[in-house]
Amino acid sequence: MTPGNSSDNRRARTAGYELYIMRHGIAADRGTAGYEDDAKRPLTPEGKKKMREITAGLARVGFDLDWIVTSPLVRAAETAEIVADGLAGRVPRDFCDALRPGGSAEALLTFLAKQPSRRRVLVVGHEPDLSELAARLVGAGRNAHLGFKKGGCCLITFHEFPPKSAGQLGWWLTPRLMRKMA
């Protein structure tokens, strides 16, 4: 399923809850002078440009959110800000420590469940945690190898949230494909 296919979009909307999972954009390399603290590494100028293009591609096909939840690390927060700024309307944003590297999937799901009226949610975080989260949520297990490229995004839909059973993978898009959709 691709985000541009209207019948697929209608089917996803009937699921009740849409969870979009996105890896942060291209950031300064580890150990770069001035950014020795991993939590403070920002997006590079190229990373910001590509995230704006990714957002434009998603916006072009009707990407619409009720809430953005992000890791508090600078590169993820900057990614979330670019996405929010590129979408029509004002999207509320919050930080969640469970999206930090090594964070707990259970803690993230508990955090998200506290806002039951927000049914189209984007979470922005880090690898390998996001691929493990996505695999778990679709019932694929830890060995699924669902790696996110920087700026990559997927949609998992659920009939109820918090989920009591596996969700359905709606789509999995590479950054390059989302930029081409712009």
The Cα 71–Cα 80 span in angstroms is 9
Average pLDDT on 31-49 reads 94
Closest CA to 74 of 44, 102, 49: 44
Is residue 143 assigned to a domain? yes
* CATH number where 12 lies: 3.40.50.1240
Is residue 61 assigned to a domain? yes
* Segment 72-87, tens digit of pLDDT: 999 999 999 999 999 9
Q: What pLDDT sits at residue 176?
A: 97
The answer to whether residue 14 scores a pLDDT higher than 60 is no
Q: Let me know how long the chain is.
A: 182
Is residue 111 assigned to a domain? yes
Is residue 132 assigned to a domain? yes
Is residue 1 assigned to a domain? no
Range of the domain at 119: 6-181
Structurally, the chain folds into a number of domains equal to 1
Confidence band (pLDDT; 50, 70, 90) for 15?
Answer: low
Type of residue found at 134: A
Is residue 110 assigned to a domain? yes
pTM, 2 dp: 0.90
